[in-house]
């Protein structure tokens, strides 16, 4: 098994912004899921504007959106919202990280979407959950670090509150969401029933604080700041040395004995204050002062070499340039090339999970911020189903519409279908969104089109002169080349092969969802119009 095929065929719609939801979507995409990100027109995901910007593209955005596709849809616009609903109807998973109630107001709430697609796994990521006293409040990683108690145990004793340098709670919520989605897909495979997953950032933060919460439950005393030290173990912290700092963790008695040998202080091992982990934790300030006086004799490189030889876990205080160049990172092939949509090549840290000793690569570069909805064209209704296939997957089910993400390119024997020529009006994708006065004109024109049921077909005057047009028409009529539609089953109006063109009528048939099809009836010169009951659909 390779990582890229683990969730192959699973379709995911992501309506998310910034970090928590997009991270969840990327984790699924790394496992092979087909993730389509729906972004608002204009700005797109907020992360697109975050530095560093390389030739107009945010590398922060790229780091959380590889292996995805993107489509721009204004979910407040009825037509584009309908397009989103059609996408969701054919999806296996929907991820959203809006405030509770936003999706319901848009008509995309979990009840409405699961009614259309009972197998849908609908995952909501929010600050405080979908219900409860704080559910309507927004939240970011900083506010959750403050709210959850993390800042109360981070930093030096007596110092000001300090946040963690990495947005741990954004990514923790994304991890919980991806884990829950994978489990829910297993249930869908078993009984065909989808579910609604509610992941709150507050719950995720407390979920990973098991040691701190259990300490409070067991003692009734709040944990406190200890800097880099450990509340129940020592020596287990960052130590000052001759040229800076290094970290060392002697987490049990055998490692503590090895530390005493490295620093050549066997008397410390015999000291009753340091007899076991509990005693050492109780007297860790005194122990730190003793060890730092010894460590001041040599630089960090010398001490790290000695501790490694003794088998004691230790590490330098790296910055990111150093750790990304570290031999273990290179060996695991975690840093790989990434081509941005603008053609610029950069580097990125890929999924750290390895299957069968193999690291998954980047399967799809991060998407552009689309200025049109044209990238959703293969998902739109009305396209021929037989031109598409679905990847084999136990999670797949029949879509409620004719949308399909996996368009098969034309075979060599097929004529490639373009955006021009015969039938192009049925193949063209969405047009660029209009705003302001142009949008009003477009809406009025669309309303006028919806009201029209009969209209004249354009004749061939644009291709022939008026005289030539009349001559051909009269000649065709004289030769009897015009015929009425056949009344048989499945018949449609016919014009026999030959020169000449005719005037006719076209009936615009309005179907649910706004799709138009047309029926055509031919006019025998001098015979009047063919009854509408004889018209056939095209």
CATH code of the domain in which 337 resides: 3.40.50.10540
In this structure, the answer to whether residues 213 and 284 fall within a common structural domain is no
The answer to whether residue 461 sits within a structural domain is yes
279 is catalytic: no
As beta bridge partners, residue 347 has 337
In this structure, the answer to whether residues 522 and 499 fall within a common structural domain is yes
CA 352 to CA 359: how far, in whole Å?
A: 7
The b-or-e profile of 456-474 (16+ CB within 10 A means b, else e) is ebeeeeeeeeeeebeebbe
The answer to whether residue 401 sits within a structural domain is no
Q: What confidence score (pLDDT) does residue 49 get?
A: 83
What number of residues does the chain have?
A: 538
Asked if 106 and 131 count as a contact pair (C-beta separation under 8 A), the reply is no
Q: Which helix (H) or strand (E) holds 368?
A: none
Q: What confidence score (pLDDT) does residue 490 get?
A: 42
Low-confidence ranges of the chain (pLDDT < 70): 1-4, 369-439, 444, 447-538
In this structure, the answer to whether residues 98 and 165 fall within a common structural domain is yes
CB atoms within 10 A of CB 91: 26
The answer to whether residue 529 sits within a structural domain is yes
The answer to whether residue 406 sits within a structural domain is no
Identify the domain boundary among 267, 299, 317.
317
Q: Which helix (H) or strand (E) holds 453?
A: none
Q: What confidence score (pLDDT) does residue 447 get?
A: 66
Identify the domain boundary among 344, 370, 385.
385
In this structure, the answer to whether residues 35 and 145 fall within a common structural domain is yes
User: 44 lies in which domain range?
Assistant: 3-220+327-385
The answer to whether residue 334 sits within a structural domain is yes
Which value, to the nearest 10 degrees, does the dihedral of the CA atoms of residues 423, 425, 427, 428 take? 150
The answer to whether residue 528 sits within a structural domain is yes
DSSP string, 88-112: HHT-SEEEE-SPTTHHHHTT--HHH
368's CB contacts (< 8 A; 6+ apart) are 70, 341
Among 201, 249, 233, 246, residue whose Cα is nearest residue 97: 201
Identify the domain boundary among 385, 400, 434.
385
In this structure, the answer to whether residues 156 and 252 fall within a common structural domain is no
In this structure, the answer to whether residues 80 and 194 fall within a common structural domain is yes
C-alpha pair distances (Å), 9 with each of 86, 317, 446? 18, 43, 37
The answer to whether residue 419 sits within a structural domain is no
In this structure, the answer to whether residues 311 and 334 fall within a common structural domain is no
Q: What confidence score (pLDDT) does residue 341 get?
A: 79
Q: Which of 30, 45, 141, 170 is catalytic?
A: 170
CATH number at residue 311: 3.30.1540.10
Q: What confidence score (pLDDT) does residue 409 get?
A: 37
Task: State the residue for tokens 């600050």.
Answer: 127
In this structure, the answer to whether residues 337 and 258 fall within a common structural domain is no
First to last CA, the chain: 48
The answer to whether residue 310 sits within a structural domain is yes
pTM given for the model: 0.66
In this structure, the answer to whether residues 313 and 340 fall within a common structural domain is no
Asked if 28 and 7 count as a contact pair (C-beta separation under 8 A), the reply is yes
In this structure, the answer to whether residues 31 and 85 fall within a common structural domain is yes
As beta bridge partners, residue 70 has 37
Q: What confidence score (pLDDT) does residue 297 get?
A: 93
Any alpha helices (H) in 156-312, and if so which ranges? 168-191, 201-207, 210-219, 253-262, 266-270, 277-282, 284-295, 300-309
In this structure, the answer to whether residues 29 and 172 fall within a common structural domain is yes
In this structure, the answer to whether residues 380 and 456 fall within a common structural domain is no
Asked if 284 and 249 count as a contact pair (C-beta separation under 8 A), the reply is no
Q: Return phi, psi of residue 394, to 5°.
A: -65, -15
Q: What confidence score (pLDDT) does residue 393 get?
A: 36
In the chain, the number of structural domains is 3
């Amino acid at each position: 098994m390779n990582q890229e095929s683990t969730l192959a065929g699973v379709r995911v719609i992501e309506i998310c912004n910034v970090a928590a939801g997009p991270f969840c979507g990327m984790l699924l995409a790394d496992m092979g899921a087909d993730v389509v990100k729906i972004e608002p027109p204009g700005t797109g995901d907020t992360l697109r504007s975050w530095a560093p910007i390389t030739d107009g593209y945010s590398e922060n955005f790229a780091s959380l959106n590889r292996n995805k596709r993107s489509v721009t849809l204004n979910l407040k616009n009825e037509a584009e919202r309908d397009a989103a609903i059609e996408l969701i109807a054919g999806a296996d998973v929907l991820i959203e990280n809006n405030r509770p109630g936003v999706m319901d107001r848009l008509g995309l709430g979990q009840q409405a979407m699961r009614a259309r697609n009972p197998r849908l796994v609908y995952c909501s990521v929010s600050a405080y959950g979908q219900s409860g006293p704080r559910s309507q409040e927004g939240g970011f990683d900083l506010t959750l670090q403050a709210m959850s108690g993390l800042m109360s145990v981070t930093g030096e004793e007596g110092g000001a509150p300090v946040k963690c340098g990495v947005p741990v709670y954004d990514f923790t919520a994304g991890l919980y969401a991806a884990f829950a989605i994978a489990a829910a897909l297993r249930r869908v495979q078993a009984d065909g029933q989808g579910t609604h997953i509610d992941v709150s950032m507050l719950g995720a933060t407390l979920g990973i604080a098991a040691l701190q919460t259990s300490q409070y439950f067991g003692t009734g005393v709040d944990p406190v700041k200890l800097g880099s030290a450990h509340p129940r173990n020592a020596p287990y912290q960052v130590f000052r040395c001759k040229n800076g700092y290094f970290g060392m963790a002697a987490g049990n008695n055998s490692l503590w004995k090895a530390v005493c040998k490295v620093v050549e202080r066997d008397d410390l091992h015999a000291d009753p204050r340091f007899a076991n982990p509990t005693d050492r934790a109780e007297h860790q300030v005194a122990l730190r002062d003793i060890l730092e006086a010894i460590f001041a004799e040599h630089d960090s490189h010398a001490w790290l070499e000695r501790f490694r030889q003794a088998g004691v876990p230790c590490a330098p205080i790296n910055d990111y340039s150093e750790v990304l160049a570290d031999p273990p990172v290179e060996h695991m092939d975690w840093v790989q090339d990434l081509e941005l949509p603008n053609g610029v090549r950069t580097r990125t840290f890929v999924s750290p999970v390895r299957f069968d000793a193999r690291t998954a690569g980047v399967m799809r570069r991060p998407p552009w911020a689309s200025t049109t909805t044209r990238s959703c064209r293969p998902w739109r209704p009305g396209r021929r189903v037989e031109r598409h296939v679905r990847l084999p997957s136990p999670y797949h089910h029949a879509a409620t519409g004719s949308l399909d993400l996996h368009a098969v390119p034309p075979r060599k024997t097929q004529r490639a279908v373009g955006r021009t020529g015969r039938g192009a009006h049925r193949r063209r994708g969405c047009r660029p969104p209009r705003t302001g006065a142009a949008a009003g004109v477009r809406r009025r024109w669309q309303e006028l089109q919806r009201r029209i049921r009969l209209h004249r077909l354009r004749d061939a005057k644009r291709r022939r002169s008026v005289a030539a047009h009349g001559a051909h028409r009269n000649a065709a009529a004289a030769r009897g080349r015009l015929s009425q539609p056949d009344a048989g089953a499945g018949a449609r109006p016919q014009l026999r092969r030959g020169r000449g063109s005719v005037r006719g009528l076209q009936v615009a048939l309005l179907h649910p969802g706004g799709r138009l099809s047309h029926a055509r009836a031919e006019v025998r010169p001098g015979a009047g119009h063919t009854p509408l009951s004889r018209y056939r659909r095209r």
